[in-house]
Amino acid sequence: MFSYDNIQKLNNLELLVYDYVIKNKQVVRYMTVRDLAAAVHVSTSTVIRFCKKLGCDGYSEFRVKFKLYLNEQCSRQSKDDIEELQHYFKSVETTAWEQVMNDAVQMIRDAKRVIFVGVGTSGILGKYGARFFSNVGKFAQSIDDPYYPVLEDILDNTVIIALSVSGEVSEVIRMINEFKQHNCKILSITNKNSCTLAKISDLNLSYYIEEQKVGGELNVTTQVPVLFLIETLARSIK
């Protein structure tokens, strides 16, 4: 619908309509032609010309095609997400993955305590991880505040499980460097093993899922693999 050729045909006023439609998809689908024209501060004739350049006879046909376009995009995204997760779960059925997981499990078994570290969404997952580990009998805590004071005497024989999608969060890296100074073992769970956090860890578990961001900043990459890894580790140390 919004092909390169069609967009190239739009003049400056019609591009304003296009920009508004793309940024307000869910609102536009319920707008009348007058509503859309008023929102963009253009005439209804400009909106009609916009519709015709996209291959529609008028605004009514545009609304129908636009709703179909949105449904198709949503369906395609859901299918892509499911296929990507299926690919991930197939990828962990390897000897190499089992070896890394066995090493991680042994590291946790040998430790007196476990501390999950992460900020934002990773911090929330850290709290879940600490609770899940505690449920299976392994004492665990969670730190989601990068400035939370930690007493040195509780760090003896401790494994830090650091969670971060990008592995480049400065606050998390700073905390991990401090924990390393106290001889804590570092197990990181990141999206890729080429990130800074993975490189400074004793062991890294990476899941390689396509990163998704909203507005170029908010990371909405699926965390299903992280939950899977946390629960698999916990169940394996029982």
Location of structure tokens 């309509």: 17
- pLDDT value, residue 79: 56
- pLDDT value, residue 41: 96
Residues 104 and 174 in one domain: yes
Report d(CA 11, CA 46) in Å as an integer.
10
**What is the tens place of the pLDDT at every residue in 113-161?**
999 999 999 999 999 999 999 999 999 999 999 888 887 777 889 999 9
Rg (CA), the chain: 25
Where is the domain boundary, 44, 76, 108? 76
Residues 62 and 131 in one domain: no
Report d(CA 23, CA 156) in Å as an integer.
52
Q: Which two tokens stand for residue 65?
A: 């095609």
- Owning domain of residue 190: 92-236
Section 16-34 average pLDDT: 91
Q: Of residues 3 and 31, which shows the higher confidence score? A: 31
- pLDDT value, residue 217: 60
Q: At residue 22, what are phi and psi to the nearest 5 degrees?
A: -65, -35
- pLDDT value, residue 167: 95
**What is the tens place of the pLDDT at every residue in 82-107?**
777 887 887 788 888 899 999 999 99
The confidence band for 8, taking pLDDT boundaries of 50, 70 and 90, is: confident
Helix (H) / strand (E) element for 145: namely none
Instruction: Say if 86 falls within a structural domain.
Output: no
Residues 127 and 101 in one domain: yes
**Average pLDDT in the chain:** 89
Instruction: Say if 19 falls within a structural domain.
Output: yes
Residues 163 and 226 in one domain: yes
CB 125 within 8 A of CB 226: yes
Instruction: Say if 85 falls within a structural domain.
Output: no
Report d(CA 205, CA 203) in Å as an integer.
7
**What is the tens place of the pLDDT at every residue in 195-204?**
999 999 999 9
Q: Which two tokens stand for residue 93?
A: 């059925």
- pLDDT value, residue 231: 97
Section 11-34 average pLDDT: 91
The confidence band for 77, taking pLDDT boundaries of 50, 70 and 90, is: low
Where is the domain boundary, 17, 48, 76? 76
Contacts of 52 (CB under 8 A, 6+ apart): 58
Residues 163 and 132 in one domain: yes
What are the distances in angstroms from CA 115 to CA 24, 123, 128, 139, 192?
Answer: 42, 11, 12, 9, 21
The confidence band for 170, taking pLDDT boundaries of 50, 70 and 90, is: very high
Q: Is the pLDDT of residue 9 over 90?
A: no
Our count of domains for the chain comes to 2
Location of structure tokens 């605004």: 59
Residues 66 and 126 in one domain: no
Residues 116 and 232 in one domain: yes
At 82, the amino acid letter reads I
- pLDDT value, residue 74: 64
Q: Is the pLDDT of residue 216 over 70?
A: no
Residues 67 and 144 in one domain: no
Instruction: Say if 223 falls within a structural domain.
Output: yes
